[in-house]
Structure 1
Amino acid sequence: MLFRAFHRQIRPTTDTQDLTPALQDTGRTRGEDGGPAWKETVNDSKRLGKLSALKTVTRLNIAARPELQGPQCVARRTYSISTETRDRLFVDVEESACMCMQCCGPARACSLQGFDKDAECVFLFERPLRAEMCWLGCCLMEIRAYTPERELIGTVHQRWSMFTPYFEICDSEGISAVRIQGSCCNTRCLSEQELQQVVSSIGEIIGCIWKRWPGYNEECNMDHEYFGLDVPQGMNLNTKVLLLAAAFLLNHMFFEMS
């Protein structure tokens, strides 16, 4: 059963689902219509009831859990999502095709399904296969977040930029809530990075996405698989879930060394 993932071994079963049509971006920002889009609202809390554990969270730590060693084709990966006090909130299971994993590496298409302590699915992230080249504006990276009922929460879009990484977080209507901006020098081999700044529609820095060195592990090298995000407590659940999805996308693009 899935609740065993909160002990020693994770063996959830998930099915990779077909990607839905891409969300059309409207280019609007809700902050322009009255109030920041990332602030918490009552409707968001009711809609994402299973994710209420994120309501008071200001830091999320994400750590990969190695299960196999050696040259093997591992099409499934598991991640532990915990708070700053190491209280485990969710277990996230990533599934990808073995061929896609080996040929595309960090640019692979994948599905990530999150489970709570009761082994219930609480969110679903889907990343389509895209080209990791800044000059291909029509094929830039993105990841979509859904409720367990397959209702779209929002989408994280990579936008074209000349020198620095630039992403927009849009809700289900395509309205931009916050932006993510990074450094012009992204190096995967650095042990610690804090280069992805979360910026509101009015230019205020409200959080960041980071990578840390978790310490020496004599069994396997998982230095690149400890990352997370810092967010304000008053941020609404929708935006927190989308930033969590963005953290996985940025880990694949800038941190992971698969």
Structure 2
Amino acid sequence: MLEVQSPPGTIAGYVVQNWDPFLPKFTIQNESKEDLLKIIGPYATCGCFEDVDFEVKTLNEMSTIGKISKYWSGFVNNVFTNTANFGIQVPVDLDVRIKAIMIGACFLIDLMFFENSLDGL
């Protein structure tokens, strides 16, 4: 579970990893730990030569309302540098606290699926 604070000391919400045998799944919760949205990743997160999208869905997983994407930045950048480009697409009228939690989810997804080493932590 990732706790997101904004401003520091004030809990905006949480990102909770859900167990699934095949797909990366997360739940976005508010400060009261009530479920708000789901994030569902692809079966394979290698992203070789293409973007990797994690869909932001309603709680029933029937409607997609946005996505968190790791953009393919080219062979040279992916092999010879440690940089990554991410994008978050959500409805403009989504509560600002939920947008802050989505940024936290983006950092968590990067750490879990795209960083090769945890030596720096």
Classify the TM-score, shorter chain. Answer: 0.7 to 0.9
- Show the 5 A alignment for 1:72-83: none
Match of 1:196 among 54, 64, 68: 54
CA distance in 2, matches of 1:179, 1:227: 18
Cα shift at 1:200: 1.2
Asked if 2 retains the 8 angstrom alpha-carbon contact of 1:194 and 1:208, the reply is: no
Q: Which of 150, 154, 160 is the equivalent residue of 2:19?
A: 160
Looking at CA atoms only, which structure, 1 or 2, has the larger radius of gyration?
1
Secondary structure in structure 2 of the residue aligned to 1:162:
coil
What is the 5 A alignment of 1:2-81? Answer: none
Structure 1 residue 239: deviation in Å? 1.0
- AA in 2 matched with 1:222: N
Equivalent residue letter for 2:50:
E
Instruction: Report the number of matched residues.
Output: 113
**Deviation by residue 1:130-182 (Cα, 9 ceiling, x = unmatched):** xxxxxxxxxxxx21111234011101000111111110000010101100011
Is contact 2:42–2:52 with CA below 8 Å preserved after alignment? no
Higher strand residue share = 2
Check whether the contact 1:191–1:211 (CA below 8 A) recurs between aligned residues: no
CA RMSD, Structure 1 to Structure 2 (Å)? 1.9
TM-score between the two structures when normalised by the length of structure 2: 0.82
For residues 88-124 of structure 1, the C-alpha deviation after alignment (integer angstroms, 9 at most, x for no partner) is xxxxxxxxxxxxxxxxxxxxxxxxxxxxxxxxxxxxx
- Among 29, 34, 44, the alignment partner of 1:175 is 34
The residue type paired with residue 45 of structure 2 is N
Matches within 5 A, 1:140-151: 142-151=1-10
Gapped regions of structure 1 (runs ≥ 5): 1-141
Contact 2:6 2:100 in 1 (8 A): no
Q: 4+ residue runs of structure 1 moved beyond 4 angstroms?
A: none
Verify: 1:248 aligned to 2:110, yes or no: no
Q: TM-score scaled by structure 1? A: 0.41
Shift of 1:206: 0.5
Preserved CA contact (<8 Å) 1:180 1:199: yes
CA 1:207–1:256 in structure 2 vs 1: closer, same or farther (change >3 Å)?
same
Q: Which amino acid aligns with 1:209?
A: I
1:222 aligns with 2:82: yes
Question: Which secondary structure does the structure 2 equivalent of 1:252 belong to?
Answer: helix
Which of 49, 68, 72 aligns to 1:209? It is 68
